[in-house]
Structure 1
Amino acid sequence: MRRLILCLLLPLFLAACGAEPVWAPDDAVRKAAFSSGEAPSITLYTVISKNTGAGGHSSLLIDGNERVLFDPAGTWKYPYAPERNDVHYGMTERMRKFYIDYHAREDWYVKVQKVYVPLDVAEELRRRVEAYGAVPKSMCANSVSSSLRGLPGFEEISHTYFPVPLSEMFGKVDGVVSEDVYDGDPRNVHGIQMIRPDEVTHGRTIGG
């Protein structure tokens, strides 16, 4: 019944809820480009309610020739991680921890599921998310599962609109390592002051 209601309401929802395109300038994206030097990998982040176990958000960290974050319909923004339609560039280790810390709160924790992949697989996924376009609200798991479907090694992934079932499917991919990160976890320490982009002045450096 739940799926039937969703199927009936989805066309109306999509028609009423468009996504606002964001397109950072070439210079900003080029300047922010970051290569971790680590083995290629794909990481699924799932934000889960401590109280109900329901999923609140899904996103992907793709580490290939450069490391980018696909944060579909996400609210996380930072001037040192320029965005193009839900793809954020400049995802240094500090930015990665900042992103997790932003979502790990009193009532929410972040499930981190990482798997190492061949470089061509990471790069193919990056091309897919860069071409996906701006994602409407509440369509995070839909866009992530759609981007992963058919990718070599991710045959377990089928289409879903729900973050927790997506996490469960991702957990069946061969080689996945999983950990849960909670509010106050020392792994979140990033040394970045959470400031609004309009508060940033020219020449300000990232703290720490």
Structure 2
Amino acid sequence: MFRVLIFCALALGVAGCTDRGPEADPATIAAAAYRAPGSATLTLYTMVNTRTGSGAHTSLMINARERIVFDPAGSFYADVVPEKDDVLYGITPAVEKAYRGSHARSTHHVIVQNVEVTPQQAEIAYQLAKQMGPVPGAYCANYTARLLQQVPGFEQIDVVFQPVKLSDQFGSLPGVVTEKYYENDDADLQKGLAENNARLNQT
């Protein structure tokens, strides 16, 4: 366990987990609400060091009554994206692209794993996400696994600390579609976050 915690602490430095600042108020969250058309879905993001293959961060996008990202102890921020208790709101296509693109860079890529679920499953995941945070640093995969384990149909998920181990479990479930997303821009996560924030502000 000690070795696992050291690993997670090192991963924090790579993922850039940080305090995102003031929590959004209910009116701001409600005003930003967005639901993607189509089926209810769960999308697991796993940020991976391209050189070593080790996981740096885990998060979960949930398309339920609205589309949110459960980003436990995560770094992403944008002026147009309200955040409360490690949940990001207003996940439009442009925000999703900025989220994925901020994490993908010359040193890291993103495993994107999507599965269609029932509206009931999505609603349970949505409610759980709002109750889980704020999450302590180094517990991103652990809390995401805890959330998934409570969704009917995902009970077989084991609670783990390592993002890649959670990704492997999720990818073995029926109906999951797995893709890898790469960019070759600057390795500095904070620079990518700032650039994508500026792009979102322009739109």
Common fold: TM-score over 0.5: yes
Tell me the SS of whatever aligns to 1:47.
Answer: strand
Alignment of 1:1-208 (within 5 A): 3=1, 5-6=3-4, 22-184=22-184, 193-195=195-197, 206-208=201-203
Q: 1:194 and 1:75 mapped to 2: Cα distance?
A: 13
1:100 and 1:110 in contact (8 A); partners too: yes
Q: 1:119 and 1:78 mapped to 2: Cα distance?
A: 28
How far does residue 66 in structure 1 lie from its aligned partner after superposition?
0.6
- Distance 1:22-1:121 versus aligned 2 partners, 3 A rule: farther
2:43 and 2:114 in contact (8 A); partners too: yes
Whichever of the two has the greater Rg, that structure is: 1
1:121 and 1:151 in contact (8 A); partners too: yes
Tell me the SS of whatever aligns to 2:196.
Answer: coil
Deviations 1:76-107 (A, max 9, x none): 10121100111011000110010000000101
Q: 1:132 and 1:115 mapped to 2: Cα distance?
A: 21
TM-score of the aligned structures, taking structure 2 as reference length: 0.83
Tell me the SS of whatever aligns to 1:60.
Answer: strand
Count of aligned residue pairs for this structure pair: 184
Q: 2:200 and 2:75 mapped to 1: Cα distance?
A: 23
Q: 1:205 and 1:111 mapped to 2: Cα distance?
A: 23
- Distance 1:4-1:89 versus aligned 2 partners, 3 A rule: closer
Q: 1:194 and 1:43 mapped to 2: Cα distance?
A: 21
- Distance 1:50-1:69 versus aligned 2 partners, 3 A rule: same
Consecutive unaligned residues in structure 1, runs of 5 or more: 11-18, 186-191, 197-203
1:153 and 1:174 in contact (8 A); partners too: no
Moved over 2 A (4+): 3-7, 19-23, 192-196, 204-208
Q: 2:22 and 2:173 mapped to 1: Cα distance?
A: 32
- Distance 1:6-1:57 versus aligned 2 partners, 3 A rule: closer
Amino acid aligned to 2:173: V
How far does residue 194 in structure 1 lie from its aligned partner after superposition?
2.8
- Distance 1:80-1:37 versus aligned 2 partners, 3 A rule: same
Deviations 1:155-196 (A, max 9, x none): 3311101100000000111100000000159xxxxxx95347
Q: Equivalent pairs: percent with the same residue?
A: 36
RMSD: 2.6
